[in-house]
Structure 1
Amino acid sequence: MKTISKSKLKSQLLEFLRLVESGEEIIVTDRGKPVVKISRYGDSPTTEELFGEMRGKVQYFEDLTTPTTDEWGEL
């Protein structure tokens, strides 16, 4: 991961964008503090890709919208 100042980024933006296109990530700093991370854009994973392993493993035991006053009792 490469770190550069805002002023250097401004003067050499196209060069750094080419680095990002090739897969490099860049941290942009302002007075030595990191302010922006530039990385290559990626497609978001589908729901199936994220949760496919869980299919059939999740169980629901009660209605989540029912009041819980019986469980906690009246105050």
Structure 2
Amino acid sequence: MRTVNISDFRANLLKYLEKANAGEHFCVTTNGKHIATITPPANRKQLAQEQLAKLAKQTVIEDIVSPTDAEWDANL
């Protein structure tokens, strides 16, 4: 992870944000002390697909159209 001084980060904010958007990670420091980590944005589509795949492994699909033995009233 690249380390960037806060003054350089402020002066070149757009450049660093574009690099983060392209996938780079940055550690922002002031007086040698780590104050922030800049990371690329999460790929929401990929995260959603991963969560759905995980859920699909746990899901049991059964026939929900067939009648059951339970009696119920349907007010149509």
For residues 17-72 of structure 1, what are the alpha-carbon distances to aligned partners after superposition, in whole Å with 9 as ceiling and x for unaligned?
1111110001100110111011111128344345555x27xxxxxxxxxxxxxxxx
* Greater Rg over alpha carbons, structure: 2
Q: Which blocks of at least 5 consecutive residues in structure 1 are unaligned?
A: 57-75
CA distance in 1, matches of 2:54, 2:39: 21
Percent sequence identity over matched residues?
24
Q: What is the TM-score with the length of structure 2 in the denominator? A: 0.58
Q: What is the TM-score with the length of structure 1 in the denominator? A: 0.58
Question: In the alignment, which residue of structure 2 is the partner of 1:35?
Answer: 35
CA distance in 2, matches of 1:34, 1:9: 13
